[in-house]
Structure formats: C-alpha cells, structure tokens
Amino acid sequence: MPRALPSTALVISLVFGATVAACQGCRTPPAVTAEDDAAPTQPTVRLYLLSTVAGAIEPCGCTKDQLGGVDHLAAFLRAESAAAPSSLVLGAGPMLFGEPTLRPEQVTQQSWKAETLAAAAKDLGLVAWAPGLNDWAAGGEALSKYVSTAGSALLAGNVEGVAGVTGVVVREVSGVKIGIVGVAEPRDRAGKLPDGVTTKPALDAMRAGIAEAKKQGARVLVGLAAIPRGEALRLADAIPELAVLVLGKPQEADHNNDAPKPPMRVGSTLVVETSNHLQTVGVVDLFVRGRDAEPLSFADASGIERAEELVSVANRIRDLETRIQSWEKGGKVKAEDLAARKADLEKLRAERAKLEAPSPAPKGSFFRYKLVEVREKLGADPSIATKLVDYYKRVNDHNRTAFADRKPAPAAEGKASFIGVEACTVCHDEERKVYDGTTHAKAYETLEKDHKEFNLDCVSCHVTGYDKPGGSTVTFVDKFKGVQCEECHGPGSLHARKPDAKDLIILKPDPQSCVSQCHHPPHVENFDPVAKMELVLGPGHGK
C-alpha cells in the first residue's frame, strides 16, 4: 500500500551554490563518518535550492528591498562559504525564460537575458537543473548553447530529442558520493511538447537514474523534478530512497510571484519548493554520520512540523513590512499607530527566530532545512552585478536602433490623443508644481541612470500612454517621459480644445487604475492605492 501523502508539499527547486565549481573536492573538509553524540558544526554537504527561476535576473518595481536578484543570491552564497565549504547547486526549472513563447519583438532581448542568466549560473556553480517548457522558448539549439554557457547538466532522464540531456550526475563531496537524478515534463497547457522532443514515464526514468547513481557508488540520492506537483509527490512516495526531492513546474506562464510553500516529508524524503523568480533560496544541510554503504536516510533536525507555521509568520512579516513602508511615506497614519505596528513587527520577527531555532541533533545522519529570502540587504556580487549592467547596456544599444522607427498608431477619428505634460501646464500651472515634486515625474530618469530606458521589460510603466493610440512607444517618448497627467486622467487633446466640456477627461481617477496598470505584483506587493494616491495630491491638485 502506498504511503499517504501529507497535505502540503515541499518542492526542492534550483540550487545555486557559491563555492561549487567543477572540482567538488577542492577545499572541502574530510567526510564525517564516525557515529558521534556530538553534533558536527559544519554540514557534510549543503544544498542550495531554488524553484522556477523563469528568467528572473532581478526584481522590477518600486517597493523597497524587493525579493529577488541573482547578484544578491550570489553574495549570500559566497558569504556562507565559510560555514558550509562543501556545497552543491541544483535546480528544478523552468530557469531561462519568463514565458513559454517569445513575441517576435522580444526574441533578441529575452535571448540575451537568458544568456546572462546562464553566465551567472556558471559563476555560481550550478551543477544541474531539470528543465521546464520555458527553457525551449528560443528553440532546442539555443537551449543547448545556454546549458554549455552555464557549464551545468540538463537533467531529465525521461526526455529525448535535445542535445546534451542526461539522466544522472554523481558528485563526490566531503568523501560522500551524491547522486542527482532529474525528470521533466515540458508540455504546454494543451499537452504539446517542444518540436522534436519526446518523453517517457518520469517514474521509470527516475528509478533507472537511481540505479545508475547507486552503481556509481552514490550514498545520497537527490531528485530534481519539473513535473506537475501531484505527480512529483507520487514519485516521492514511490521512491523512498530519495533523500531530497526538488520540485519546479512544467512551465511558468505569468509574472506573479508565488508565496513560499512549506517543506514537507513524504516518508523519509524531504520535498522542497522555493518561491519562484529567485525570491527565496532553500538551504538543506546534510550531516552524514555512519558508515552504511546503502543510500542514506536522514532524520529531521529542523522541525519540519513547524514549517507551515513558519511560512505563515514569514508572510505576515512581509505584509507588515511593506505596509509600514507605505505608511511611512504616506504620512496618513498616526505616529502612535505606526509605532504600535513596528512593535508588532518586532514580535513577529522574534516569533520567527524561535521557530527557526534548530532541533537537537538526532543520532545517525540528519538534515536541517531553512528558507532564506533573497534581498538587497544580502549585498551584490560584483562579477554578476557587472554582467547585469553589461546586459542592460547591450539591450539599450540594440533597441534604440531596432525600434527607432516605431511610432504609436494614431488615435481614431474623433478620439482623444495624448498631448504631454507641457501642453497640460498651459492651463494647469499649480497642478504642474505638485506633479514636479512627485516620484512619477522622475520615473523615466530612473531608467536612464540604469541603462534601461529602451528596455521592453521596463519602459511601459515609466512613460505616458505606452503602446496606446496617439501615445508613446519604446523610442517615441520625447513628450511622454515620466508618469504624467494623462496616465491617470486619460488622453487630453479633446479636453484641451474644449476645457469646459464634460466627459472629455477623467476628473477623479479611480485609485484601482494604479493597480491595473503598473502597481501590481511582482512590481510591488501589498500596494494600497488609496493611501498612495495621497502622495500625488497637493494644493490645486485634489486638495
């Protein structure tokens, strides 16, 4: 009879390890083999795990200290190298692209982004990842090129029809051989595979990979699975030899950020899924104690039963942090109320620290797990930060020329067109003074200083009337730099001709329009449009 599955799942995703290079035996401590009551201070091997990176090299938005950023992840991993000098980097995709298909105008930019991410993965020491459908967005030949750039293994033993794909990788770390086995099911929502690709049953391929890993002497078995979640959990249930199973997705089709998922155990298998888009990294420390030759089983020394509660507390902390940031800027919350909420935040942080405290080490081999948020405060790795800047400059130079002749479609006859803030100022001088003091007025400048003003991923929320009739495009922005009056009030040409006529302009914009256009996840979390609208009001402009 198969084991009953727990109610929540832990998916192990992409593992980026800072110190793992091609030579896994370099600068590593001796294997921990003696049975000892004293808990070792360093893990035998640490796994850094991420799921569904999906082309996210850094966060995009206006929230302070946003989650994500491959340069921040790299800085964290390097900082941790002293505490865990023996580490592996593994992943469950999709990794390279945010969408399964690319629009024609996006092909060059998104391909260069994938190339940049692959180069960053090489710096980080990515050992292997199980691919998702998005990884084929630029075609099978391009995928093979990215795999070569990353210096990693494309791990999917059940997938045929792509060059270089393999089913198993064995690495020796601290004297212990780690067998890594991967499967994938890169189908779209209609069930179609990429051209030329076929798949076999994932369970059969995983079993064959494990047999091969054991044949090569692997004592610790790790699975990577970019397949539907339910199928992955059944796989864990059917293969109890797996110490860890990392889950991704068959595909990623939107840009929303997933909330963290708590880890779980299916029998003796630790199942981990981290948040998508590099928001979080899963850290699994494996402590090998004993001389058994068979695949090792690890006891839980991190209190997985507390994981769901820990995720709940972490979500409440994140929610309160972003709301406090909003209240501090908006100035609409009483000082005593703000102080009370900050006190609540400190209590939640203390509660999280208590939940994260490790359990006593059991006898025999054991694991410890934690989920780490990837944020700016972790620092930025200089090498990868340089790669990001080079990517943005390259895209800027290309798009400036490639889209130089792209102009907006004209407004239909009798419909309003955009006229720009200078034309609005002729009649609305007081309102202009208020506007000039807002961050909206400087929105385009923030792109220019970072070499992103011609970036197709960025420009639409930093200009006025983007891709609308009579508005702006990626290069046609001279009158429309910044988030101007018409972005909220609508195109103003008809209103300018007949300022006393009704219904030719939106007098009082709906605060929800801020959310529908730009201020939504993943660009900003927990956005309060009513409170934020207060920041753009002033004498003569709503007050």
pLDDT at position 62? 79
pLDDT at position 330? 63
Average pLDDT for 156-162: 95
Confidence tier at 15 by pLDDT (50, 70, 90): very low
pLDDT at position 6? 35
CA distances from residue 11 to 5, 65, 99, 282, 499 in whole angstroms, order as listed: 14, 25, 21, 9, 58
Give the tokens for residue 387: 């790669």
pLDDT at position 39? 58
Give yes or no for residue 397 having a pLDDT over 70: yes
Confidence tier at 38 by pLDDT (50, 70, 90): low
Give the tokens for residue 354: 């208590």
Confidence tier at 61 by pLDDT (50, 70, 90): confident
Q: Is 542 left (phi over 0), alpha (psi -120 to 50) or beta?
A: left
pLDDT at position 198? 96
Give yes or no for residue 259 having a pLDDT over 60: yes
In three-state secondary structure terms, 314 is: helix
pLDDT at position 331? 60
pLDDT at position 16? 33
Give yes or no for residue 329 having a pLDDT over 80: no
Give the tokens for residue 295: 């695949």
pLDDT digits (tens, 9 = 90+) for 342-366: 888 888 888 888 777 766 777 789 9
* Choice among 53-57, 260-264, 277-281, 520-524 with the minimum mean pLDDT: 520-524
pLDDT at position 64? 77
* Between residues 482 and 256, the one the model is more confident about: 482
Report how far residue 10's alpha carbon sits from residue 419's, in angstroms, rounded to the nearest whole number: 52
Give yes or no for residue 252 having a pLDDT over 60: yes
pLDDT at position 527? 80
Average pLDDT for 470-489: 96
Give me the phi and psi of 7, to 5 degrees please: -80, -25
Average pLDDT for 13-42: 41
CA distances from residue 506 to 216, 481, 495, 538 in whole angstroms, order as listed: 70, 20, 10, 17
Confidence tier at 148 by pLDDT (50, 70, 90): very high
pLDDT at position 286? 96
Q: Which CATH superfamily is domain 45-302+361-383 in?
A: Metallo-dependent phosphatases (3.60.21.10)
Strands (E), 335-422: 366-373
CB atoms within 10 A of CB 509: 16
Looking at residue 381, its amino acid is: D
pLDDT digits (tens, 9 = 90+) for 84-127: 999 999 999 999 999 999 999 999 999 999 999 999 999 999 99
For the chain, give the mean pLDDT: 88
pLDDT digits (tens, 9 = 90+) for 410-419: 999 999 999 9
pLDDT at position 307? 67
Asked if residue 222 lies in contact with residue 180, where contact means CB atoms within 8 angstroms, the answer is yes
Report how far residue 19's alpha carbon sits from residue 306's, in angstroms, rounded to the nearest whole number: 30
Confidence tier at 14 by pLDDT (50, 70, 90): very low
pLDDT digits (tens, 9 = 90+) for 166-184: 999 999 999 999 999 999 9
Q: What is the CATH number of domain 403-536?
A: 1.10.1130.10
Confidence tier at 18 by pLDDT (50, 70, 90): very low
Report how far residue 418's alpha carbon sits from residue 465's, in angstroms, rounded to the nearest whole number: 7
CB atoms within 10 A of CB 128: 27
Give the tokens for residue 33: 């083999």
Confidence tier at 37 by pLDDT (50, 70, 90): very low
Report how far residue 66's alpha carbon sits from residue 69's, in angstroms, rounded to the nearest whole number: 9
pLDDT digits (tens, 9 = 90+) for 128-140: 999 999 999 999 9
* Choice among 1-5, 37-41, 154-158, 300-304 with the minimum mean pLDDT: 1-5
Give yes or no for residue 7 having a pLDDT over 60: no
Asked if residue 137 lies in contact with residue 88, where contact means CB atoms within 8 angstroms, the answer is no
pLDDT digits (tens, 9 = 90+) for 287-297: 998 766 678 88
pLDDT at position 476? 96
* Between residues 449 and 343, the one the model is more confident about: 449
* Between residues 135 and 35, the one the model is more confident about: 135
* Between residues 20 and 310, the one the model is more confident about: 310
pLDDT at position 21? 33
Report how far residue 416's alpha carbon sits from residue 497's, in angstroms, rounded to the nearest whole number: 10
Sheet holding 264-266, edge to edge: 168-173, 176-184, 220-226, 244-247, 269-272, 264-266
Average pLDDT for 62-82: 92
* Between residues 527 and 95, the one the model is more confident about: 95
Give yes or no for residue 4 having a pLDDT over 60: no
Give me the phi and psi of 74, to 5 degrees please: -60, -40
pLDDT at position 249? 96
Report how far residue 10's alpha carbon sits from residue 260's, in angstroms, rounded to the nearest whole number: 10
Confidence tier at 3 by pLDDT (50, 70, 90): very low
Average pLDDT for 210-216: 97
Give yes or no for residue 31 having a pLDDT over 60: no
pLDDT at position 34? 36
* Between residues 335 and 282, the one the model is more confident about: 282
Total residues belonging to the chain: 543
pLDDT at position 302? 83
